[in-house]
Structure 1
Amino acid sequence: MADQLSDEILGSARLEIDGPGVTGQPMSFRIVYTAGAAGVDDRGAVRVSWRAQAGLGHPQFEDPSAPGYLAVRTVSEGSVRPVSRFNERGHRRPFVPAVTVHTDDGGLWPGDRLELTFGDTSAGSPGIRAPVTVVHAFEFQVSVDCKGAQEFLDLDGFLTFPVVAGPAVRLAAIAPSDVRAGEPFALRARFEDVWGNPTDVPGASLQVAMSDRDPVLGTAAGAGPVIPIENLTLEAPGVVRLQVTDQTSGLRATSNPIRVAAELPDQRRWWGDLHGQSGETVGTNPSSDYFHFARHLACADFTCHQGNDFQITDAFWARLRREVEAIHEDGEFVCFHGYEWSGNTEVGGDRNVIFRGIPEADDISRSGHWLIEDRRPLDRERDALNVEELYARLRGRDDVMLLPHVGGRRAELRWIDPKLEPVVEVHSAHGTSEWFLRQALASGARVGFLAGSDDHMGRPGATLANANEMPVNGGLACIRATELTRDGIWEGLHSRHCHGTSGARILVDTQIAGARMGADAEAHGNVSVDARANGTAPIIEMAVYRDGEPVYRWTPAGDPLHVLVAWTGNLRIARGRKQTWDGELTVHGARLNRVEPFAFDHPEEGLTGADGHSVRWTSETAGDYDGVLMDLAAASDATIEFCAEPLTVTQELQGIEDGPIFFAAAGLGAHLRLQALPRDGGPLDTQVTWTDAAPPAGVHAYHVRVLQLDGHMAWSSPTYVDIAED
């Protein structure tokens, strides 16, 4: 932990803190700046900045009794008055959020002090929220504008403190999706704190069984955060979900669905996350930790590092290539080489660049050198200022592919090359972007769908939402491959034999016009759709889409007194997509017997109050659903009144059991969903057979979307059906 910085001219800074932060818990600490030999001029300033991605709470100066209060004090014999402000984008990347304290009515003399107490508790504030992810060294940069010239010079080095995981509040059980009957396999159990960080449970004692009533199949002991339970066997073919219980903490979990068969399928289902970056660019913790987390804590089968190109130095590129080779192991864990080409949206937008094999030192074509120390100009023979130049560098190669995505700097799909870009990303921790899928399909390109995390918090493959930069859980990609090797995963991805989820290991299979997921097919007249899903929670919808629009919707038969009220939307397609839905629902003509939260993303969202007739909440969406599940007392003429900024509406509930009711709201894809659900939530396993009886002639993309009772979703890659004219 670095607690002291010093510069003779600019001054010095120190950090005063009692122990490490605990993820997401209130804390208090003080940064003390002492003016150097130059002093700080009247209307000069001192700035403290940090990385946004780890989720330190936002400071505020108005209410000393509220969370996040930041007290600023000067120790000076002069008349200086500090004027403080917080700006979410107040400094240079990656230290973007910043508190700037301007001097007014005098400056700081050499030796004067400026004290900033983050989370000052002296007037009743509980403190400031600690970063929500584990960080080895959470860094503060201290910068000084001694002359009031709007030119900030950084003190050399950083003030740092560690952030550790909180106590375990839940258990996750991760199993392979495909198992041969009678053949041993391993299940891995992961303990998590309230923000989803892997954490220890000393003396954990795990048991695995088919159910509470069945014999124990296996046991394991340890401290975590991940404990393997090995040599498990399942004898009977079918879909199985195993129950895992920790005898020490009392925590329980149900595994993802396991398909048990007499023989393994030709193409097994492998899970991973191809999209994220580490602290050397704009993420958290070192790249070596990134790879370790993906393999050993997220329990992924494959991953890739995607640092922004304009931050990747030649030395870091060389180190990344060594680290990738060190973690990669055919048959156990696949790690691809890659980087994020980060051209501005207006010249193409973000594309993940993924290599099939080992790239050369000059195989990185940067969009710029903005945050590389030498800031040398573009190498016109090697770099690519726009996506057309990138295409030109890569066309003709069969060992590289691009993955357009939304992220922050969204890809512009007026440029898309399906030979280089076989898939696009529907979901990441930035949000769910179904509008992006529709753009891809409208381009005429034949592309598959998958998801990733775009992790910036050091948790690839198991990224959970934070309250600042990443509003939803990170996604996962499921790729069908003959073997767990680079070649196997590559071929599955390149053939569009893949689907994406919002983070749950939901199994989805489709046969459309007789062809498998991602394939090209032909049809004369009718198009048959056969879709199967095995969920990690009850399935409340399977919808068939043609060219990005729903044409058939299956939902389970619902109880009109057990009603889901859910909302979704993005504010816009550019950055700042989060849409605020803070609001209230009132029931007229009936009584609320019980309300439960639906799919809120992190501990600072959720229900804020309820009584027999109303319920209130705090909510932000980014294309995902949030909502309320209600149990109503019997009433034939009940109505609900929904009130939030994007939509106010009153609706009778009579007939709601006939199917979901939707109301469009202000925002991108924003709507309200009312749906009667079964008392048991719905089936875990669902198969839908449907025929599109009269589709128009031409090539059409058919895909399936699954929605679960926990809000998680899955998207199949489209099957492209060429329908002949009659």
Structure 2
Amino acid sequence: SARPRWKSLTIGVSGGYLSEGDTITVVFGDTSGGSPGMRMQTFVEDGFEFKVLADVCAVGHFTPIPNTPAISIVPGEPVVWRAVLSSLRRPGETFQFGLKAEDKWGNPTERAHGALIFETTLPVNNLPARYDYTRGNRAVTFEGLSVDEPGELRITVRNEASGAVIARSHPMMIRAGRYGGYWADLHGQSGESIGIGTSRAYFDFARDRAFLDATSHQANDFQVNNAFWAFLNDLTAHHHQDGRFVTFPGYEWSGNTAVGGDRNVFFRTEGRAIRRSSHALLPERHDLDSDAPNANLLFEALADEDCVIFAHVGGRYADIEYAHDPKLETAMEIHSAWGTFEWLLTDGFPLGHRSGVVCNSDGHKGRPGASYPGASMFGAYGGLTCFLTEELTRDGIFDCLRKRHHYGTTGTRMFLDVRAGFATSGQLFDRDPKAFDDATSQTVTQAMMGDIVQSDDATLTLRVEVATQSPIERVEIRNGFDTVHTARGYDTGDLGDRIRVVWSGAEYRGRGRETNWKGKAQFRGATIKRIAKINAFNHERLLEQQGSDTVVFDAITTGNFGGFDAWLDTDGSGELTVTTSLGTLALPLADIGLEDSVMEAGGLERKLRAFRLPEENTIFSLTTELEIALHPAGDNPIWVCVTTEDGFQAWSSPIYVYNKDR
């Protein structure tokens, strides 16, 4: 069947015929033979339609039948509470605090209730100390909050009756400065194209259930007719509210990789023309001459538009060597629900590109900002981007994007500050001098993430500050492709009998990149006390302890990583053997330490790793400084990758430092 209804059942009638009034009965999940039934999709949908078509003339042409049945797919019972803050505000600046309960598959559910107590690390204006969360709410937002004094705000939510902690918020820094930090998911789509739900519900979810500060709708261009494009523009205008919720009109330019690959286009204002890659699924043909059938023609067509463009990796990954315009294409999307793709950014380093880092969901399940992968083809939780900007407006975010003052995560919210200090001074450019002949500069001794700086110094001092919801596993400081230092909040003397086993990577860059990791990990000579799963979002995939010394798994990765922690009862002897469909990693337990033990597994950065962690890691904040030697020729892209114990990651946009040669 045709996009987007790939799964279908075809029934042929033979030995007779159908007349008006005759019926065919189809039972999904028939339990009469002992089956437990059929589980429906993992995500909520108000109108799941059983689309029925009939080839009434037996000519191979199927016509939709009117009034076909539809059902509602509703959330399940609550299993986890989420307390959501932003990451950076100035004293007195307003913010919101979001609270919701999610079911097993990540859907906000209206079945949660209880009297809740809020405990805060700083006094919060307008936040009640107690709140009755009633059934029927899928989320609650506390608006108009503020904190007067600088510091680190965290909110703990307790059940009043039991006193148990049910949720802990992300950290939010309150500090005076030029910028606030605002969270966005700018890339996803709804049921009018290839997702589910309506585009109106998409924007409502982003604001009211994912608690985002900004979003955009990105339908595949070859499914966007002119009426839908006008409707989307009306929706962004309707939902946009400076200082509270910023929306951008935009679309996904969906050309094949051979002609440049997927791009996201965002306009500052409504009413701009859509330049499609094709009219593949559009019956209208009168405006074919407005198409831009390759990425270079897209950049040419948008040269005079007030817009920004991202390159991304989905079904048709972007080829940034084939086409890239630094005046328009400001960022690379290196994580989404499709996986993790650092290579999309690093491919640009030898090409002289100076791009920022963004992460978004690219989700199809109607949950922008909280996009779980479910049980089908998506392999990762959707990403988020934090914009460091003076104000939450379209102008503020556009300025931020053009200066690359932002960082991306695999879906968590963390505070991340990356700054470079120069011993003498440097020239900070307002725009990329390689792309803009009229770029101007000012003398500085410090730069932030995303900045482009010319410096005569042989070294710089990098300062990184991180605050997270989950303990920090590592902070990698990189110059281009190379990791020059790994910072942790602990050292060898703090390690315990906790072993982390991690699988990662992909088959290749394009569609069908999923790698299957099937096997077992055996801790011979030791007893497993307990395990904890990492990035195991698909509850139908196997990852469990069997017996006293073995963990079995059947997992997938799509450039991202998964795995488990095992807490052991051991005298220090014994051996770990991890046997997988892609190879075996075997080593004595005594040889597993702070640094990774690695089995390379081919493909696209496929690896199996094992390393040791403290019994309990209590490092939720980390500040480190490092002197970094600069290469005298070409760019030094100085960037940071943070990994937390729960499997989330964050990447800063690089600071691009160069000597004389631009």
- Normalising by the residue count of structure 2, what TM-score does the alignment of the two structures yield? 0.89
- How far the C-alpha of 1:372 sits from its partner, in A, is 2.0
Q: Which amino acid aligns with 2:157?
A: V
2:252 match: 340
Matched residues in 1 for 2:383 and 2:142: separation? 25
- How far the C-alpha of 1:301 sits from its partner, in A, is 0.3
Matched residues in 1 for 2:194 and 2:139: separation? 27
Matches for 1:525-674 after TM superposition, within 5 Å: 525-555=458-488, 556-557=490-491, 558-674=494-610
1:253 is aligned to 2:167: yes
- How far the C-alpha of 1:465 sits from its partner, in A, is 1.6
Q: Which amino acid aligns with 1:221?
A: D
- How far the C-alpha of 1:675 sits from its partner, in A, is 1.7
1:218 is aligned to 2:129: yes
- How far the C-alpha of 1:655 sits from its partner, in A, is 3.6
CA change 1:554–1:202 in 2 (3 A) is closer
Describe the SS at the equivalent of 2:129. Answer: strand
Asked whether the 8 Å contact 1:220–1:227 carries over to 2, the reply is: no
Matched residues in 1 for 2:473 and 2:384: separation? 20
1:521 match: 453
Asked whether the 8 Å contact 1:639–1:652 carries over to 2, the reply is: yes
Matches for 1:411-426 after TM superposition, within 5 Å: 411-414=318-321, 415-426=323-334
The one-character-per-residue Cα deviations of 1:31-51 (angstroms, maximum 9, x if unpaired) are xxxxxxxxxxxxxxxxxxxxx
160-169 or 114-123: bigger deviation: 114-123
Asked whether the 8 Å contact 2:214–2:247 carries over to 1, the reply is: yes
Asked whether the 8 Å contact 2:496–2:613 carries over to 1, the reply is: yes
1:131 is aligned to 2:45: no
CA change 1:185–1:332 in 2 (3 A) is closer
Matches for 1:120-269 after TM superposition, within 5 Å: 120-145=30-55, 150-156=60-66, 158-181=68-91, 185-201=95-111, 203-210=113-120, 218-223=129-134, 224-229=137-142, 234=147, 237-247=150-160, 252-261=166-175, 263=176, 265-269=177-181
CA change 1:679–1:233 in 2 (3 A) is farther
Matched residues in 1 for 2:236 and 2:606: separation? 40
Matched residues in 2 for 1:324 and 1:236: separation? 35
Matched residues in 2 for 1:365 and 1:716: separation? 31
2:308 match: 401
491-500 or 566-575: bigger deviation: 566-575
CA change 1:248–1:422 in 2 (3 A) is farther
Asked whether the 8 Å contact 1:369–1:377 carries over to 2, the reply is: no
Q: Which amino acid aligns with 2:245?
A: F
Matched residues in 2 for 1:547 and 1:408: separation? 27
- Normalising by the residue count of structure 1, what TM-score does the alignment of the two structures yield? 0.82
Matched residues in 2 for 1:471 and 1:549: separation? 27
Matched residues in 2 for 1:131 and 1:439: separation? 36
- How far the C-alpha of 1:246 sits from its partner, in A, is 3.9
- How far the C-alpha of 1:645 sits from its partner, in A, is 1.2
1:290 is aligned to 2:202: yes
Asked whether the 8 Å contact 1:267–1:482 carries over to 2, the reply is: yes
- How far the C-alpha of 1:598 sits from its partner, in A, is 2.0
Matches for 1:6-17 after TM superposition, within 5 Å: none
1:54 match: none
Matched residues in 1 for 2:544 and 2:19: separation? 49
1:438 match: 346
Matched residues in 2 for 1:287 and 1:608: separation? 39
Describe the SS at the equivalent of 2:345. Answer: helix
Matched residues in 2 for 1:184 and 1:493: separation? 23
The one-character-per-residue Cα deviations of 1:131-190 (angstroms, maximum 9, x if unpaired) are 211111012222334566554343345431111111211111112323445777542211
CA change 1:351–1:107 in 2 (3 A) is farther
1:75 match: none
CA change 1:158–1:345 in 2 (3 A) is farther
Matched residues in 1 for 2:205 and 2:243: separation? 18
Q: Which amino acid aligns with 1:198?
A: P
Asked whether the 8 Å contact 1:535–1:684 carries over to 2, the reply is: yes
- How far the C-alpha of 1:102 sits from its partner, in A, is 4.5
Matched residues in 2 for 1:132 and 1:529: separation? 44
Q: Which amino acid aligns with 1:534?
A: A
Asked whether the 8 Å contact 1:217–1:232 carries over to 2, the reply is: no
- How far the C-alpha of 1:337 sits from its partner, in A, is 0.6
Q: Which amino acid aligns with 1:518?
A: G
2:439 match: none
Structure 2 unaligned blocks of 5 or more: 422-445
2:406 match: 498
CA change 1:433–1:682 in 2 (3 A) is farther
Matches for 1:264-343 after TM superposition, within 5 Å: 265-343=177-255
303-312 or 111-120: bigger deviation: 111-120
519-528 or 189-198: bigger deviation: 519-528
The one-character-per-residue Cα deviations of 1:461-500 (angstroms, maximum 9, x if unpaired) are 1111211132211110100111111101111111100000
Matches for 1:349-498 after TM superposition, within 5 Å: 349-360=261-272, 363-374=273-284, 376=285, 379-380=288-289, 382-397=290-305, 399-414=306-321, 415-498=323-406
Asked whether the 8 Å contact 1:600–1:606 carries over to 2, the reply is: no
Describe the SS at the equivalent of 1:657. Answer: coil
Describe the SS at the equivalent of 1:552. Answer: strand
Describe the SS at the equivalent of 1:291. Answer: helix
- How far the C-alpha of 1:706 sits from its partner, in A, is 0.5
Asked whether the 8 Å contact 2:89–2:180 carries over to 1, the reply is: no
The one-character-per-residue Cα deviations of 1:301-334 (angstroms, maximum 9, x if unpaired) are 0011111111111111111111111110111110
Asked whether the 8 Å contact 2:520–2:553 carries over to 1, the reply is: yes
Asked whether the 8 Å contact 2:387–2:407 carries over to 1, the reply is: yes
Percent same amino acid among aligned pairs? 34
Asked whether the 8 Å contact 1:218–1:231 carries over to 2, the reply is: no
Asked whether the 8 Å contact 2:496–2:615 carries over to 1, the reply is: no
Describe the SS at the equivalent of 2:365. Answer: coil
Q: How many residues are paired up?
A: 625
